Amino acid sequence: MYDYLIVGAGLFGSVFAYEAIKRGKTCLIIDKRNHIGGNVYTEKVKDINVHKYGAHIFHTNNKMIWDYVNSFAEFNRYTNSPVANYKGELYNLPFNMNTFNKLWGVISPSEAKQKIEEQKEASGITDPKNLEEQAISLVGTDIYEKLIKGYTEKQWGRPAKELPSFIIKRLPVRFTYDNNYFNDRYQGIPIGGYTSIIEKMLEGIEVRLNVDFFEQREEFESLAKKVVYTGMIDQYFDYKYGILDYRSLQFETKVLEDTDNFQGNAVVNYTDKETPYTRIIEHKHFEFGTQEATVITEEYPGEWKPGDEPYYPVNDDKNNETYRKYKELADNEDKVIFGGRLATYKYYDMHQVIGAALATVNKEFE
């Protein structure tokens, strides 16, 4: 009998497995996909590491977590500096002096601030009632119209006027010529892709792929003393309190044999409403690739229905309340540990998942 059955070979399950084995425990890890790594999985195509589930850029302020991932792979100096394409006009992101200069021709930070203030004032919005009003009250009309409106409406599948204001709490506006998207101290891409990190974590651990826990639930439960569950929490409890909603994504990947550089940047966001995808990823630029061909992925946001791949939790009041009920049940299961983005119904960045997994490990083995 194993000490742990781990459901899900994503980042949470893999960190847990690695740490458990280090402590002399035995683990069996299963995943319903045909590969390890969950959403951080990368796959080589034309010798380029393709991020199969969307762009994954590692960033953190936590030195301990940075050192931890670096113990599994060497990271490069990649800095995320996406570009927005609005009907053929290109703007730097996040909103910074380069963006303001392109938009209005302003040179100094005080001119840019004045421009934004003027637009905020002209809008007359004092008590924002929806996402549109909230965004305009934070950055003014030009940035909203060109860089936020279309993108957000595509992402959520609804007009910005019908979206709640809480989705945008803050909008980072920077009055320096700095295109680095993240403020974190550490940032990079693992040289050779994320899959090799997971492979290292799972070295010597029994992994079974293409196996859905729910198809042989009793059998699997009987194999181990404890279960670490990283799948969807509502499914674990047989949807007893209803289904938790997600937003989904579709990825359309194309190999361009005769192009070595398609867009000159890893991430280009399409911020108009008409272009059906929200962004195009050109994977080779994550690792400064010089291959002869290139691989690009268009990202299409979509409605989610049960059976689709769940990407972004919809943390509105209704879903949070449903999750709270499931969490209560989960807290009473003493032989099951719930962890990761799906079992806690939370959007987690990679560093946060690693942090959560290590905290779980500390609690389990204290």
Select the residue interacting with ligand FDA from 5, 6, 9, 198 (CB under 6 A): 9
CA atoms within 13 A on the CB side of 344: 15
Residues 207 and 9: beta-carbon distance below 8 Å = yes
Half-sphere exposure of 310 (CA within 13 A, CB side): 21
Neighbours of 262 (CB within 10 A): 16
Closest CA to 310 of 232, 211, 194: 232
Taking the least distance from each CB to ligand FDA, the nearer of 40 and 103 is 40
Q: What are phi and psi of 146, to 5 degrees?
A: -90, -30
Instruction: Report in angstroms how near the CB of residue 62 gets to ligand FDA at its nearest.
Output: 12
Residue 279 among the catalytic residues? yes
Select 53 or 175, whichever has its Cβ closest to ligand FDA.
Answer: 53
Among 5, 6, 7, 131, binds ligand FDA (CB under 6 A): 7
Question: Considering 170, 238, 258, 317, which one is annotated as catalytic?
Answer: 170
Question: Dihedral, CA atoms, 45, 49, 54, 56, nearest 10 degrees?
Answer: 180
- Choose the binding region for ligand FDA from 11-19, 107-115, 148-156, 321-329 (rule: CB under 6 A): 11-19
Alpha helices by DSSP H, 87-156: 97-104, 109-123, 131-139, 141-143, 149-156
Closest contact distance (angstroms) between CB of 310 and ligand FDA is 8
Rule CB under 6 A: choose which of 2, 5, 8, 28 binds ligand FDA. 8
CB closer to ligand FDA, 7 vs 21: 7
Based on the shown chain and the rule CB under 6 A, indicate whether residue 33 belongs to the binding site for ligand FDA.
Answer: yes
Q: Which is nearer to ligand FDA, 138 or 227 (CB)?
A: 227
214 binds ligand FDA (CB under 6 A): yes
What's the rounded Cα separation, in Å, for the pair 176 and 296? 31
The structure tokens 């000490």 sit at: 3
CA 265 to chain centre: 19
- Do strands 206-208 and 27-30 pair parallel, antiparallel, or not at all (unpaired)? parallel
For the question of residue 174 being annotated catalytic, the response is yes
**How many whole angstroms separate alpha carbon 187 and alpha carbon 298?**
24
Q: Which of 68, 212, 239, 247 is catalytic?
A: 247
Residue 231 in contact with ligand FDA, rule: CB under 6 A: yes
Q: What are phi and psi of 16, to 5 degrees?
A: -60, -45
Binds ligand FDA by CB under 6 A, chosen from 12, 18, 95, 181: 12
CB distance 69 to 354 below 8 Å: yes
Nearest CA among 142, 147, 139, 202 for reference residue 171? 139
The interface region with ligand FDA, picked from 70-78, 118-126, 257-265, 348-356 by CB under 6 A, is 348-356
Q: Is 81 in the site for ligand FDA (CB under 6 A)?
A: no
313 touches ligand FDA by CB under 6 A: no
Catalytic annotation, pick one of 132, 181, 299, 348: 299
Candidate segments 9-17, 19-27, 166-174, 201-209, binder of ligand FDA by CB under 6 A: 9-17
Q: First and final CA of the chain: distance in angstroms?
A: 22
Closer to ligand FDA at the Cβ: 235 or 271? 235
Nearest to 38 by CA among 346, 270, 342, 358: 342
Say how many residues make up the chain. Answer: 366
Establish if 3 lies at the interface with ligand FDA (CB under 6 A): no
Does residue 56 interact with ligand FDA by CB under 6 A?
A: yes
Catalytic residue among 117, 121, 206, 347: 347
# chain residues binding ligand FDA, by CB under 6 A = 35
User: What residues are labeled active site?
Assistant: 170, 174, 247, 279, 299, 347, 349
State the residues that interact with ligand FDA by CB under 6 A: 7-13, 30-33, 38-40, 53-58, 212-214, 230-231, 249, 311, 340-342, 348-351, 353
